[in-house]
Structure 1
Amino acid sequence: MALKITVIGTGYLGATHAAAMAELGFEVLGLDVVPEKIEMLQRGEVPMYEPGLEELLRKHVAGIEGASGRLRFTMDFAEAGAFGDVHFVCVNTPQKHGEYACDMTYVDSAFASLAPHVRSGALVVGKSTVPVGSADRLARLLPDGVELAWNPEFLREGLAVNDTLHPDRIVVGVRSERAEKLLREVYATPVAEGSPFVVTDFPTAELVKTSANSFLATKISFINAMAEVCEAADGDVVKLAEALGYDDRIGKKFLRAGIGFGGGCLPKDIRAFMARAGELGADQALTFLREVDSINMRRRGHMVELAREAVGGGSFLGKRVAVLGAAFKPDSDDVRDSPALNVAGQIHLQGGQVTVYDPKGMANARRLFPTLGYADSAEEAVRGADVVLHLTEWREFRELDVDALGEVVGRRVILDGRNALDPVVWRAAGWTYRAMGRPGA
């Protein structure tokens, strides 16, 4: 008999996982405690922008014409418990207010609500990013006859559907052959396609995601530190990164200097990792992550200073500043801890008249920073601006008509906070182009 799968929590991770499990042929029941979210998903709509996700949902949600009907949604834990053979817990683990540590409230609540209803013989699988040691504690909350496994997620926003259906690795922390067998059955299709299947204990599985994010954050902050040195030495960090990238021990990915990383994962995950290491008495092992975090946050302030220099070096008062980008990365509408909005907000607080444009993140940006100005196009955003800041590397911004933009801007000055634009093209059109870690001319 085919396995039946539930997905507890239908946010970014859960909605993607539920749709992907249906695509792999399973009967899936998604559960959330937010009525508005469930209503949207039942219509085949998603509360966030993620390329391909809405189309995948509409392919499988029951009640939609032409859909497979393999995917349904509920708010009832009793229904979920009776339905599922394998329960994936996909709820959020934000950073605690005023602390570095991870807030486990949603995970604990999900386990507490599911435990009384889960059937004997079922497997509960954690996918949330949690502090190491959490799985061992959570396993004790489940009734006899119900096992726990840990299966961290490695989704990249903007590529989440492909990352779920064709993962670059599948990591499972298990305590029995039966749990491993069930997860091999769940992931049989991607494993058959060649996705590595790594079997570990609980602590190792929990550590993989935070370790991976810490490594990526370190690589990004390293090249940004080199950008600071390049500015002091009049070097070119883009050429430096190119030369480094040819070393296959280093690789070229994540070596683009700019205003740093943001979003709902890397910043809070490295901080939670530091906090947990301290609790375990291993805080010295991760002291380097404090500098990684510091370098990252410093880049935002540096962009504000570059913008101040560009408008005359004094005050932002009376100056018009255009910001291209609001999402923390392209192909997403996620503005959590967005470097672009952080820079825009700092300039606004210092008296600048800031206008923001982003292809997908406008609604979320308005909710988070309602006092900023917003425009419906890049051209409208830069109209009359004293300086233009490119802060999210959308393809749309790389393909802008620089001549047309030059006709409406106040001054042809562009600061490339992502080192993603072609300086030759912009300078040929009469723009003053400057990027972090690169010579000014």
Structure 2
Amino acid sequence: MVGQQRLKISVIGTGYLGATHAACMAELGFDVLGIDVDQAKVDSLSSGRLPFFEPGLEEVLARNLAAGRLRFTTDYAEVAEFADVHFICVGTPQRADSNAADLSYLDAAVDALAPLLSRPTVVIGKSTVPVGTAARLAARLAGTAPAGADVELAWSPEFLREGYGVEDTLRPNRIVIGTAPGSRRAEAVMREVCAEQIAAGIPFLTTDLETAELVKVSANAFLATKISFINAMAEVCEVAGADVIKLAEALSHDDRIGGKFLGPGLGFGGGCLPKDIRAFMARADELGVEPALSFLREVDAINQRRRARTIDIARGLIGGSFSGRTVGVLGAAFKPNSDDIRDSPALDVAATISSLGARVTVYDPEALENARRAHPGLGYATSMLEAVRDAEVVLLLTEWAEFRDADPDELAKVVAQPRIVDGRNALDPEQWRERGWTYRALGRP
């Protein structure tokens, strides 16, 4: 506590991570002020409208705005005056000219905040960053902030899964906090912020700054490797005549392996796994240990090959050419329960097929507007049936429940030919084949 009052929290950056963190900190009872340089985003959040889709978050946002615990601003001076602890949640996308992370938003946030910190405070980074970034920023804060060494920097990586952001913030599976040598307040402040989760038995792990930075990228590298491993097995299964779904099931019963992230299909995308493993490789190269992560190049390559293989399967079903053909695509988001199209395998496949001469119509329950802005040349439908009408082949590329539960008889009434490529192994092959469909999937006979 500060006196007898609860800590006041600022959240810097109100994209997916920041908006979720701000709303959930308010849900835990803290007074929270979110800041962003984008006035339109601040206005939208202040009125209770999310600029992205995340199940359950809009209700949390509205509830805490109404309670007066949550506000948004573009004024860094207001943030510095208001908050006892500042969480940095800005994006760290892949650079346009290399695989490395673009830290310009992070540096800009620190440069804007630091000169205004005139009293003891704690700054906690949550953005995913290359190892060594926190130490660099700690030195910058200490040298720029009027309060000097009384401004402490710590790093607490986020572990949010899109579609489960509220749950993962309020009830995370672990909390990690990395602090600098000699830090006096940062761990205590983080323990206060997370008191409810700690009391519920959630593990609270303390590390140095560098280890904390490595936790998130190491976790993502491991998960990406696991996904690409089973997709590599799918490549073998297709040639050998084996069934990768049965193979994955058998592997999952080994508790050393487990079944999570062992789902073969079109591969991973989104704003985290692809750019994080590439930035991890770039940082390893800078540190002189590039061979240690060279396997991630093949992980990335396997993932990209899944997209090409899906296109090849669909092309084979319609006689070897997409020119003049009609194709229905189910899915645009990189995963279900999200409207995120960043590095979406589904949209990449749809756009490639369109470039090969096909008339492609896409439907997604949440990502249509984002997809239309990114790929205006594709056709878009407002329902699943509309998307597949007159299609000579249908591709299921994002495993929304609506698609998994689709009635093959209903779709058969509107397609030109009952052919489907199940890019996510989400359907029951026997059910679809019994209803007269030609069914193909990655890694299955």
Q: Mark yes or no: TM-score above 0.5.
A: yes
Which has the larger displacement, 417-426 or 223-232?
A: 417-426
CA distance in 1, matches of 2:197, 2:401: 30
**Secondary structure of 2:427's partner?**
coil
Equivalent residue number for residue 257 of structure 2:
250
CA distance in 2, matches of 1:166, 1:340: 30
- Tell me the CA shift for residue 93 of structure 1: 0.3
CA displacement, residues 171-227 of structure 1 (integer Å, 9 cap, x when unaligned): 000132421111000001111111110100000000000000000000000000000
Is 1:118 aligned to residue 123 of structure 2?
no
Is 1:173 aligned to residue 178 of structure 2?
yes
In structure 2, which of residues 350, 366, 371 is the aligned counterpart of residue 365 of structure 1?
371
In structure 2, which of residues 197, 219, 229 is the aligned counterpart of residue 212 of structure 1?
219
| Equivalent position amino acid for 1:139 in 2 | A
- Tell me the CA shift for residue 98 of structure 1: 2.5
Equivalent residue number for residue 64 of structure 1:
none
**Secondary structure of 2:185's partner?**
helix
Alignment of 1:21-420 (within 5 A): 21-61=25-65, 67-142=66-141, 143=145, 144=148, 145-175=150-180, 176-313=183-320, 315-420=321-426
- Tell me the CA shift for residue 119 of structure 1: 3.6
| Equivalent position amino acid for 2:324 in 1 | G
CA distance in 2, matches of 1:108, 1:76: 17
- TM-align CA RMSD: 0.7
CA contact (8 A) 2:152 2:185 kept: no
- Tell me the CA shift for residue 381 of structure 1: 0.5
| Equivalent position amino acid for 1:86 in 2 | V
CA distance in 2, matches of 1:199, 1:337: 33
CA displacement, residues 46-93 of structure 1 (integer Å, 9 cap, x when unaligned): 0000000100000011xxxxx211001110000000111000000000
- Tell me the CA shift for residue 120 of structure 1: 2.0
| Equivalent position amino acid for 1:380 in 2 | E
Structure 1, unaligned runs of 5 or more: 62-66
| Equivalent position amino acid for 2:96 in 1 | H
Percent of aligned positions that are identical: 64
CA distance in 1, matches of 2:254, 2:407: 35
CA contact (8 A) 2:334 2:341 kept: yes
CA displacement, residues 6-49 of structure 1 (integer Å, 9 cap, x when unaligned): 00000000000000000111000000000110001011110000
**Secondary structure of 2:394's partner?**
strand
In structure 1, which of residues 5, 22, 28 is the aligned counterpart of residue 9 of structure 2?
5
Is 1:19 aligned to residue 26 of structure 2?
no
- Tell me the CA shift for residue 104 of structure 1: 0.3
After TM superposition, where is structure 1 displaced by more than 3 Å over at least 4 residues in a row?
none
- Tell me the CA shift for residue 140 of structure 1: 1.1
- Tell me the CA shift for residue 399 of structure 1: 1.1
CA distance in 2, matches of 1:394, 1:119: 49
- Tell me the CA shift for residue 427 of structure 1: 1.3
Structure 2, unaligned runs of 5 or more: none
- Tell me the CA shift for residue 238 of structure 1: 0.0
CA displacement, residues 352-377 of structure 1 (integer Å, 9 cap, x when unaligned): 11110000000000000000001111
- Number of residues of Structure 1 aligned to a counterpart in Structure 2: 433
**Secondary structure of 1:291's partner?**
helix
| Equivalent position amino acid for 1:160 in 2 | G
CA distance in 1, matches of 2:167, 2:198: 14
CA distance in 1, matches of 2:311, 2:426: 18
**Secondary structure of 1:354's partner?**
strand
**Secondary structure of 1:203's partner?**
helix
CA displacement, residues 336-367 of structure 1 (integer Å, 9 cap, x when unaligned): 00000000011000101111000000000000
CA distance in 2, matches of 1:26, 1:375: 43
CA contact (8 A) 2:125 2:156 kept: yes
CA distance in 1, matches of 2:101, 2:252: 34
CA distance in 2, matches of 1:421, 1:99: 38
CA displacement, residues 272-304 of structure 1 (integer Å, 9 cap, x when unaligned): 000000000010000000000000001101111
| Equivalent position amino acid for 1:122 in 2 | T
CA displacement, residues 217-266 of structure 1 (integer Å, 9 cap, x when unaligned): 00000000000000010000000000000000000011111110000000
| Equivalent position amino acid for 2:417 in 1 | R
CA distance in 1, matches of 2:420, 2:398: 13
